[in-house]
Amino acid sequence: MPRRNALLHQKFGPLVRIGPNHVSASSEDAVQVIHRAKTGFNKSSIYGILQPRLHNQILHNVFSEQDPAIHARLKRTMGSLYTTTAATELEFHIDSCVRLFTSRMEEFAREPGKAVNMSAWLQYYAFDSLGEVNFSRKLGFLASGTDVDGICELDHKQMMYFALMGQSPTLERCWSRISSLAGARAPNPLYTFTLNAVNERKNNPMHSTDMLNSFLALHKASPEKFSIREVIAATYINVVTAHDVLAITLRAILYYLCRNLSASQKLCEEIIQADRSKLLSKPAKYTEASGLKYLSAVILEALRIHPSTGLILERLVPKEGVVLHGKHIVEGTIIGVNCWVMNRDQGIFGDDAESFRPERWIDNEPQVISRMRRNLFTFSTGSRNCIGKNLAMMQITKIIVEIYRNFEVRLFDPSQDWHVSGGWLTRQTQMDMILESRRVDESSHS
């Protein structure tokens, strides 16, 4: 769907009707009107499908909440916990997962030519690092090297269900009621883990710097502003919405670098030179790694060329309707911008927007780079942008440094393309890789 959506815009322009009541929009003006102006348009009912529930009552959260007043209250209450400064206080949790991931990859590297299912292992890192950051506890993916409790498989099925049934939320509500009455809904082990973790922490407080303790502190200070139900919702959403963004972005970085050897070489040289110059701790601190210009360019380019969402980010046209590109779009129409389309706008990102070229984030004029950054739509924008962006960037940056600092990475079978899911999420599989440890003289040890 994402590539088809992009082709439709190339053929028909910035506004394309993709369903009886759905319009895909792609332009700077559209982003400004739909997402940035005032509070932006309200989210559509598709997001209601992703609303977690407790005792059959909705758990309000910053991702799937459709009521703008509730969303604004939650964001005001929690916003300070998602700043770069706040994320830095959680960095030691990520370090723990980076070390474990690197250790597991070293095991593979000791077996020359062994295929590593990198698609799965990057997902494992995402889940465990989010478990550490939120609960001071890994979920066990990296230690076992397996899909713990089938969480990955179940999550994939849920996202495919969401992509399909989200096209008819009314039908989904009926089907959901029938499934619930029939007892046909499978338990969600990640949600169960979250409930147990919150209840355990309430009953047995522990002194740890993590998101759960921060949420509980907010609740204790103002229970009327931030209920225990909202603590549960916030921790659950932190994990369930973030793990795919992390894993998809990390897969894109490794895959595109394997397909672009000059970019891979430049990145390796930058990291190894920084290591030799004693500019990087072990593992690298975020403040150190974020100063590596080519690394930053690689991450931005991966976020641009392979966003984690493949459908339009649905919004509802408000009561008075809206005029975009000379067309009046009536109230109630579902309209949205697709990250894959916006991130390939040649007028913004260049004539080679279909190509992976990190240099575009370095070689262009400052005003061009500023415009590209402003219109990079992967984390959305405006009041409903991704609240966890700062933490995600830290998790991505730190693991990429250690992968390319310690290993040479190449595709197990360069003749085989990866497989990309075309639903709500653009997950990648079939990207087995070979890891070789770097020689001692290639990378110094601090």
Task: Scan for tokens 């090297």, then name that residue.
Answer: 145
- Token pair for residue 301? 């380019």
Query: d(Cα 202, Cα 182) in Å, to the nearest integer?
Result: 33
Query: d(Cα 386, Cα 404) in Å, to the nearest integer?
Result: 27
Question: Quick one: pLDDT at residue 183?
Answer: 59
Question: Quick one: pLDDT at residue 3?
Answer: 84
What's 323-337 look like in SS3? EECCEEECCCCEEEE
**Which tens digit of pLDDT belongs to each residue from 282-335?**
999 999 999 999 999 999 999 999 999 999 999 999 999 999 999 999 999 999
Query: How far apart, in Å, are the Cα atoms of 34 and each of 75, 323, 346, 399?
Result: 19, 11, 21, 34
Question: Quick one: pLDDT at residue 445?
Answer: 43
Please check whether residue 342 is in contact with residue 375, taking contact to mean a CB–CB distance below 8 angstroms: yes
Query: d(Cα 46, Cα 172) in Å, to the nearest integer?
Result: 9
Question: Quick one: pLDDT at residue 184?
Answer: 53
Question: Quick one: pLDDT at residue 398?
Answer: 98
Question: Quick one: pLDDT at residue 440?
Answer: 53
Please check whether residue 24 is in contact with residue 312, taking contact to mean a CB–CB distance below 8 angstroms: yes
CB burial class (10 A; 0-12, 13-18, 19+) of residue 91?
buried
Output the pTM of the full model.
Answer: 0.94
**Which tens digit of pLDDT belongs to each residue from 293-308?**
999 999 999 999 999 9
Please check whether residue 104 is in contact with residue 142, taking contact to mean a CB–CB distance below 8 angstroms: yes
Please check whether residue 172 is in contact with residue 49, taking contact to mean a CB–CB distance below 8 angstroms: yes
CA atoms in the 13 A half-sphere facing the CB of 220: 8
CB burial class (10 A; 0-12, 13-18, 19+) of residue 147?
middle
Query: d(Cα 98, Cα 399) in Å, to the nearest integer?
Result: 6
Query: How far apart, in Å, are the Cα atoms of 227 and each of 73, 135, 231, 232, 318?
Result: 12, 18, 7, 9, 30
Please check whether residue 422 is in contact with residue 275, taking contact to mean a CB–CB distance below 8 angstroms: no
Question: Quick one: pLDDT at residue 444?
Answer: 46
Q: Give me the residues of the chain with pLDDT under 70, please.
A: 39, 172, 175, 179-186, 440-446
Question: Quick one: pLDDT at residue 43?
Answer: 94
Q: Count Cβ atoms below 10 Å from residue 177 Cβ, excluding itself.
A: 10
